[in-house]
Structure 1
Amino acid sequence: MQLDEVELFALNQLFNAHGSPDESVQAFHYAVQQRCITAAGFFSIIKCLHPSAHIQPRQEISKSFSHPQLKKGGMFVCWVEPDMTLCLEGTAAHRNWPVALVPQALQASVEGQR
């Protein structure tokens, strides 16, 4: 599966220290192996197909962010396994994760739970 715009946004937030889109975080460099909804957001397992200097094995990185639908904000967390598999999680600080920030492939299941 291809990266969703939410996953791409999260990876850019996490691995792009300068705030502008970088060649290292391009959608074609990744393949999504699995996505799921969690109690506080979503979780994706992503294979890095073209390693870059920005993403190193055995690395954990997190970043808080704000969104109009998250009054207390949210956080993206990513663990990089030795085989360059990325475990990406999006979580809300104190309320439900907004559907607008769920990868599109999972949005129907979120809306069906309500």
Structure 2
Amino acid sequence: MQLNGLERFALGKLIAHRPSIDEALLSAATRVLERVRTPVGFYALIELPPGLCDLDHLPECEWKFRVGLQKRGGFFVCWPVGDSRLCLEAVCDGGLDAPSLATELLSEGAGPEGLREATP
């Protein structure tokens, strides 16, 4: 399977500062090995093309968010699994499920007020 829009969005927020991984994510050889909806979001196991990026020094990355003016939100987290795989997980709170999250995050009307980085 190919990366979907929500997975690309999340990975862009999580690891945008790593050019070699960005390049690997754009590769047609990148595949989603497993995609599972969970009660609070989803997780995906992603295989990157071997040799195209270095996951050895990639720490676990987390990006917290809120959607709209309500207090609904959650976080994305990803971490390396071996040399060429990433696990990506989304955890939603406040009654926000994965399909609603995708709709809200990827809608054309989601401007700065629609999606905000959570403040501590």
TM-score, normalised to structure 2, is 0.66
- After superposition, the Cα gap between the structure-2 partners of 1:2 and 1:67, relative to the gap in structure 1 and judged at 3 Å, is same
Number of residue equivalences? 99
| Separation in structure 1 between the aligned mates of residue 91 and residue 70 of structure 2, nearest angstrom | 10
- Superimposed CA distance per residue, residues 6-29 of structure 1 (whole angstroms, 9 cap, x where no aligned partner): 1011110100139xxx54542535
One-letter code aligned to 2:46? I
In structure 2, the gaps of 5 or more residues are 103-120
Larger gyration radius, structure 1 or structure 2: 2
In structure 1, the gaps of 5 or more residues are 103-114
Instruction: Give aligned-pair identity as a percent.
Output: 32
| Separation in structure 2 between the aligned mates of residue 31 and residue 6 of structure 1, nearest angstrom | 15
- Superimposed CA distance per residue, residues 46-97 of structure 1 (whole angstroms, 9 cap, x where no aligned partner): 10115335x4466311111232397332200111012321111011133232
| Separation in structure 2 between the aligned mates of residue 86 and residue 34 of structure 1, nearest angstrom | 11
- After superposition, the Cα gap between the structure-2 partners of 1:16 and 1:73, relative to the gap in structure 1 and judged at 3 Å, is same
TM-score, normalised to structure 1, is 0.68
- Structure 2 counterpart of 1:35: 35
- Structure 2 counterpart of 1:85: 85
Following TM superposition, the consecutive aligned residue runs of length 4 or more in structure 1 with deviations greater than 4 angstroms are: none
- After superposition, the Cα gap between the structure-2 partners of 1:70 and 1:46, relative to the gap in structure 1 and judged at 3 Å, is farther
- Structure 1 counterpart of 2:107: none
